[in-house]
């Protein structure tokens, strides 16, 4: 009856530490007032528990929630629960919806899963072992999400007619994808290096191993067969040779995307702080405008403009130039470009093309001469994420709210994802950081400095991406899509913690990912968040989810990081109907007069 359910819940609350208070006690009616608890109409049984983002810590003890024998929905997502998943919970015979994503559960999934289960979400945990074959028997299953765990072994042949959503991406699964699941999209399986077959790449054909063949076959190989094999192998080698030749040819043509240019030593002293000092006489009108740019000025206008230094970056100085007619642009004077004009033109043409996207700062024009290289960008009045986040932390500061932070990060993620998909496998941004994320007037994030890193592909003595560099970049000095993902992950951690990964003054460089990981490991997750965010109630769940995305991006092994496309999806999902449904349920909880509070 209801009192034994209450007893089991009180047992749970007393053994699982929690940051947000629970108003559970035996003096108030469980079905009417307990936070997160829903009963059946008769008020005789608990049928649902919703405690997402409640700051629950540690393992779930057996014989607590597992004793609620009429439970249908259990949502404990976005907490800090760890240890193994108690068998008694997952096998509650009435259980239909189990949401445990974004926790730290480990160990294997128990084999005896409730046959009533329709929705099972264990994503973003540290589960290991095989995906149990017993899942095949769950005929009612419609949605199974196991992404971002450490499951190994093969994918079971889940031939379940009702299954609509499946995600086993980013695990360590291997073997071929069962044919019953091949209709699911690529994103359901990506991030499993050893998994193959449609919709992923075809599985390698195993080499004919003599040892594995019954002896009698080898004996029966006729001369004709041997001859056929020899001719076949010759043709195969010939075909491979032709393919390799074509590939090298194509690579040659495509190489604008990965210019490797000798860096010229930086000038000892810049002669003047004017950006036009290197412009050659007689070349005053050689400003090359990009298609779609509706500016109407020439180089002379630009040189006459009143200019103000915005800052000295790693490529050179950026100026804000105010032209006669009130047009404002940003001129970047780029040093250390050792590339000839023709290559520079080609590269700029490519960058201009790739860079046409609402989340990329528009490049309007450029100028190239032997002594001066100028890039002209649209001026973004609202400034950079870096200045919004770290500028003026004292009195009079306008806090940067959570909604805006999510919007900026989504815009930036879309911009980078576009660069990766349009620029090709070799084209990277190479310098993602908060001062390169500029904001539109309605606070959408835009990526700036596109195409500069590949021009100056020789790392200066101090890497320019300091604080944001993926560990492998420091060793290999090569930027990849996955190293951009890492830098973006650092940027997410910066947004969440309010801490800059750059050294300031005499302070040492903060290794932000390392710091965040250590705090989370010590189970003080609530401490990592920017104090400024703590004033907004009911956003912790989204913050914890964003933290998980950030941490997935800064994984040390590049292949285990998500792609930018996946990151965009994950940030969008943060706001999906599923969350709002739960946000709705926390509204209910609030109206129940709970004293739920942001720590």
Ligand X SMILES: Nc1ncnc2c1ncn2[C@@H]1O[C@H](COP(=O)(O)OP(=O)(O)OP(=O)(O)O)[C@@H](O)[C@H]1O
Which residues make up each annotated binding site for ATP? 342
| Closer CB to ligand X, 262 or 312, in the complex | 312
| Closer CB to ligand X, 100 or 305, in the complex | 305
Q: CB–CB of 380/446 below 8 Å?
A: yes
Q: Shortest distance, CB of residue 205 to ligand X, whole angstroms?
A: 47
Kindly write down the DSSP assignment for every residue of 147-212, as one continuous string.
Answer: -SS--EEPPP----TT--EEE--SSEEEEEPPGGGTTS-GGGT-S-TEEESTTSSPPPPPP--GGG
Question: From the list 390, 407, 464, 583, which residue makes contact with ligand X (rule: CB under 6 A)?
Answer: 464
Q: Shortest distance, CB of residue 452 to ligand X, whole angstroms?
A: 7
Q: Shortest distance, CB of residue 428 to ligand X, whole angstroms?
A: 14
| Closer CB to ligand X, 151 or 377, in the complex | 377
Question: Mask: binding to ligand X, 354-393, rule CB under 6 A, as x and -?
Answer: -------x---------------xxxx--xx---------
Q: Looking only at residues 280 through 339 of this chain, which bind ligand X when binding is defined by CB under 6 A? A: 310-311, 313-315, 318, 330, 332
Task: Assess 469 for contact with ligand X (CB under 6 A).
Answer: no
Q: What are phi and psi of 144, to 5 degrees?
A: -130, 115
Q: Shortest distance, CB of residue 13 to ligand X, whole angstroms?
A: 48
| Closer CB to ligand X, 65 or 447, in the complex | 447
Residue nearest to ligand X (CB): 313
Q: Is 58 in a helix, a strand, or coil?
A: strand
Q: Shortest distance, CB of residue 378 to ligand X, whole angstroms?
A: 6
Task: Assess 169 for contact with ligand X (CB under 6 A).
Answer: no
**Which residues, in sequence order, are CB contacts of 267 under 8 Å at separation 6+?**
335
Task: Assess 149 for contact with ligand X (CB under 6 A).
Answer: no
| Binding annotation | 342
Instruction: Tell me the site size for ligand X, rule CB under 6 A.
Output: 22
Per-residue tokens: 443:
């606070």
| Closer CB to ligand X, 449 or 540, in the complex | 449
CA-only gyration radius of the chain, Å: 29
> Cα–chain-centroid distance for residue 424?
19
Q: Shortest distance, CB of residue 370 to ligand X, whole angstroms?
A: 22
165-167 vs 143-145, strand pairing mode: parallel
Given the structure tokens 């193994």, which residue do they identify?
84
Q: Shortest distance, CB of residue 12 to ligand X, whole angstroms?
A: 49
| Closer CB to ligand X, 155 or 351, in the complex | 351
| Closer CB to ligand X, 259 or 318, in the complex | 318
Q: Shortest distance, CB of residue 267 to ligand X, whole angstroms?
A: 17
| Closer CB to ligand X, 167 or 435, in the complex | 435
Task: Assess 105 for contact with ligand X (CB under 6 A).
Answer: no
For the sheet with 316-322, list strands across it.
288-289, 363-368, 373-378, 328-334, 316-322, 306-312
| Closer CB to ligand X, 22 or 331, in the complex | 331
Nearest alpha-carbon partner for 420 in 564, 521, 244:
564
In 502-576, where does DSSP find H-type helix?
A: 512-521, 540-553, 564-574
Q: CB–CB of 31/40 below 8 Å?
A: no
Distance of alpha carbon 247 from alpha carbon 243, whole angstroms? 6
Per-residue tokens: 66:
């597992």
Q: Shortest distance, CB of residue 315 to ligand X, whole angstroms?
A: 5
143-145 vs 119-121, strand pairing mode: parallel
Q: CB–CB of 49/36 below 8 Å?
A: yes
Q: Shortest distance, CB of residue 309 to ligand X, whole angstroms?
A: 9
Distance of alpha carbon 576 from alpha carbon 121, whole angstroms? 15
What is the 8-class DSSP label of residue 346? H
Task: Assess 466 for contact with ligand X (CB under 6 A).
Answer: no
Q: CB–CB of 113/135 below 8 Å?
A: yes
What is the 8-class DSSP label of residue 384? B
Task: Assess 449 for contact with ligand X (CB under 6 A).
Answer: yes
Q: Shortest distance, CB of residue 532 to ligand X, whole angstroms?
A: 21
| Closer CB to ligand X, 132 or 316, in the complex | 316
In 184-331, where does DSSP find H-type helix?
A: 215-219, 223-254, 299-304
Residue 302 CA: distances (Å) to CA of 146, 168, 310, 351? 56, 54, 16, 22
Q: Shortest distance, CB of residue 365 to ligand X, whole angstroms?
A: 13
Distance of alpha carbon 65 from alpha carbon 85, whole angstroms? 11
Rounding to the nearest 10 degrees, give the CA dihedral for residues 177, 178, 181, 182.
60
| Closer CB to ligand X, 363 or 406, in the complex | 363
Q: What are phi and psi of 342, to 5 degrees?
A: -60, -45
Q: Looking only at residues 410 through 439 of this chain, which bind ligand X when binding is defined by CB under 6 A? A: 431, 435-436, 438
Task: Assess 593 for contact with ligand X (CB under 6 A).
Answer: no
Distance of alpha carbon 196 from alpha carbon 190, whole angstroms? 10
| Closer CB to ligand X, 113 or 363, in the complex | 363
Nearest alpha-carbon partner for 564 in 428, 359, 411, 413:
413
Query: Which residues of the chain form contacts with ligand X (CB under 6 A)?
Result: 310-311, 313-315, 318, 330, 332, 361, 377-380, 383-384, 431, 435-436, 438, 448-449, 464
């Amino acid at each position: 009856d209801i009192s034994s359910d209450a007893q089991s819940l009180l047992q749970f609350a007393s053994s699982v530490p929690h940051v947000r208070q629970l108003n559970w006690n035996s003096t108030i009616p469980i079905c009417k007032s307990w936070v997160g608890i829903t009963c059946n109409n008769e008020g005789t049984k608990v049928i649902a528990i919703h405690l997402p983002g409640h700051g629950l810590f540690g393992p779930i003890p057996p014989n607590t929630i597992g004793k609620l024998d009429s439970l249908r929905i259990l949502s404990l997502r976005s907490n800090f629960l760890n240890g193994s998943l108690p068998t008694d919970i997952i096998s509650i015979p009435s259980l239909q919806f189990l949401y445990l994503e974004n926790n730290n559960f480990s160990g294997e999934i128990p084999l005896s899963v409730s046959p009533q289960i329709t929705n099972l979400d264990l994503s973003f945990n540290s589960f290991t072992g095989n995906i149990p074959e017993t899942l095949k028997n769950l005929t009612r299953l419609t949605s199974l999400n196991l992404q971002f765990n450490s499951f190994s072994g093969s994918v079971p042949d889940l031939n379940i007619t009702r299954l609509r959503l499946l995600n086993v991406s980013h695990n360590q699964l291997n073997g071929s994808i069962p044919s019953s699941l091949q209709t699911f999209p690529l994103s359901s399986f990506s991030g499993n290096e050893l998994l193959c077959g449609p919709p992923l790449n075809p599985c390698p054909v195993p080499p004919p191993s003599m040892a594995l063949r019954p002896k009698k076959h080898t004996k029966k190989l006729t001369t004709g067969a041997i001859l056929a094999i020899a001719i076949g192998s010759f043709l195969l080698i010939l075909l491979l040779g032709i393919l390799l030749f074509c590939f090298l040819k194509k690579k040659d043509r495509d190489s604008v995307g990965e210019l490797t240019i000798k860096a010229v030593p930086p000038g000892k002293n810049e002669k003047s702080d004017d950006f036009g000092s290197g412009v050659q006489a007689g070349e005053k009108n050689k400003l090359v405008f990009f298609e779609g740019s509706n500016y109407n000025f020439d180089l002379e206008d630009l040189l006459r403009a009143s200019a103000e230094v915005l800052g000295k970056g790693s490529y050179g100085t950026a100026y804000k130039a105010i032209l006669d007619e009130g047009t404002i642009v940003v001129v970047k004077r780029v040093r250390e470009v050792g590339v000839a004009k023709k290559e520079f033109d080609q590269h700029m043409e490519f960058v201009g093309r790739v860079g046409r996207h609402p989340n990329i700062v528009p490049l309007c024009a450029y100028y190239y001469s032997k002594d001066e290289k100028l890039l002209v960008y649209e001026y973004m009045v609202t400034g950079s994420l870096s200045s919004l986040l770290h500028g003026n932390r004292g009195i009079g500061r306008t806090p940067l709210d959570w909604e805006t932070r999510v919007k900026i990060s989504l815009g930036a993620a879309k911009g980078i994802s576009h660069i990766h998909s349009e620029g090709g496998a070799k084209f990277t941004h190479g310098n993602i950081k908060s001062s390169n994320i500029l904001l539109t007037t309605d606070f959408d994030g835009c990526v700036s400095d596109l195409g500069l890193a590949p021009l100056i592909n020789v790392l200066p003595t101090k890497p320019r991406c300091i604080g944001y560099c993926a560990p492998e970049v420091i060793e290999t000095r090569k930027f990849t899509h996955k190293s951009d993902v890492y830098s973006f992950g650092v940027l997410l951690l910066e947004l969440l913690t309010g801490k800059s990964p750059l050294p300031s003054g005499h302070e040492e460089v903060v290794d932000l990912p390392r710091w965040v990981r250590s705090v989370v490991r010590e189970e003080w997750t609530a401490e990592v968040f920017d104090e400024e965010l703590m004033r907004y109630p009911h956003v912790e769940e989204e913050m914890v989810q964003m933290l998980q995305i950030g941490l997935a991006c800064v994984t040390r092994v590049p292949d285990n990081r998500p792609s930018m496309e996946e990151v965009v999806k994950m940030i969008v999902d943060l706001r999906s109907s599923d969350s709002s449904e739960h946000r709705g349920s926390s509204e209910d909880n609030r109206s129940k007069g709970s004293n739920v509070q942001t720590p």
